Amino acid sequence: MVIRNIRIIDPANNRNEISDLFIRDKKIVSENDYNLASSGTVSGDTEMDGTGLIAGPGLVDVHVHFRDPGQTHKETIHTGAMAAVAGGFTSVVMMANTVPPIDDAAIVRSVIDKASKEPLHIYTCATLTKQMAGKECCDYRSLLDAGAVGFTDDGKPVMDEQLLGRIFDDISLLKVPVSLHEEDPRYITENGVNSGEAANALGLSGSDRQAEISMIERDLDIASKSGVILNIQHISTAEGVEAVRQAKKTNPNIHAEATPHHFTLTDSAVIKHGTNAKMNPPLRKADDREAIWEGLADGTIDIIATDHAPHSLEEKSRDFVSAPSGIIGLETSFLLAYQTLIQKEIIDYDRLFRLMSLNPARLYGLDAGTLSEGSVADITIFSPEEETVYESSRSRSSNSPFLGCRFSGKIRYTIVNGDVVYAPGLQYFS
């Protein structure tokens, strides 16, 4: 394949230019190598006009819930994969809070085998503690040898500080990340809604911001005593952002991620959208959203991740307290980032592809995140001049406050291993 006259954004090589992209044998190659392999002709190959389009390294999401095994009425690995490629993602990392949790090498191998049949790169984390109970360490080496790429009890904090310290010490030797959901349940009356006006409108007390702040501060302190690679997940408070900013000054192993919903919405969305805006941690105030913008711009927050969390219509139709937290996000993530961060000039394209491709790939040591010659041909092609109406989801679930919204921009093609696996209106796999 040759893609002509396309704007190439490749932060790994400080590249931002209009040029041609050449793909041969699943790799990005030079024009010279391409022509040599083609004997000077592109006969039989695909030539695409990229005028007006942007090509970046394939998007990487290191925080998705595909609910497989155990909750496939919400999502399967396959339906999650369909949503991912429609959103421009070429690599994703699944969380371990399945049923049963991914705390055993055999489960890791089973999940990876199932994922290998999909048209993008799917990886998985394993749990920090057995059964995610926060009581007993897992056999991290065996889980890593089975194919896990990191560790998390996402959804549940590890409350035992001494246990978490031992976990950090053990995993620091393996040089893979620990990702933590930072919410202390002692500060939460009802989860999924920020304490204050939004909670009051629902007749609830909600989740106090100190639930996140206290856990982030605690875990940054514990991490400072080890060499663990720590990722603070889905940060939602201004104080949390500042704590990470200060920790990074002395500890290069600290990372943080923000979700599109936290840098797009505020807690007033709960009043408008009900349970489809219920999430953990909850949506916060406008000042928190602006602090997240600043963190994304200055590098304090180095990853954008969706926390794609499918739930069935029946589950989300329950009363607010009984309904589960979380929304889907793979198909809208890049569009929200473009509309909120690029168009408002909070960040530029280089920073966006760092946040959504290069940095997450580097954190997990994935073969992704660059358009360097010789790298795997995973490419996201985006049209900034078109629009997308998010009418329906390719996920098995549809729990999103953004359904029905019109977005600036369109994912035009998703290319994995040199093959087009998604283009609007075309069904490449079923």
Distance between CA atoms of residues 206 and 387, nearest Å: 36
As given in the structure block, the two tokens for residue 184 are 């202390």
Q: Is the pTM of this model over 0.85?
A: yes
Domain ranges of the chain: 58-364
| 236, 188 contact by CB (below 8 A) | no
CATH of span 58-364: 3.20.20.140
Contact between residue 207 and residue 183 where contact means Cβ atoms under 8 Å apart: yes
pLDDT of residue 111: 98
pLDDT at 45: 73
Percent of the chain exceeding pLDDT 70 equals 97
Whether residue 267 has pLDDT greater than 60 = yes
Whole-number Å distance between alpha carbons of 84 and 249: 34
pLDDT tens-digit readout, 128-164: 999 999 999 999 999 999 999 999 999 999 999 999 9
Question: What does pLDDT average to over the chain?
Answer: 96
How far apart are alpha carbons 172 and 224 in whole angstroms? 12
- Per-residue pLDDT at 16: 98
Estimate the crossing angle of helix 105-115 against helix 77-86, to 10 degrees. 50
pLDDT at 225 over 50: yes
Q: Convert the pLDDT of each residue in 71-126 to its tens digit.
A: 999 999 999 999 999 999 999 999 999 999 999 999 999 999 999 999 999 999 99
Residues noted as catalytic:
307
Instruction: List, for residues 358-370, the tens digit of each pLDDT value.
Output: 999 999 999 999 9
Arithmetic mean of pLDDT, 304-316: 98
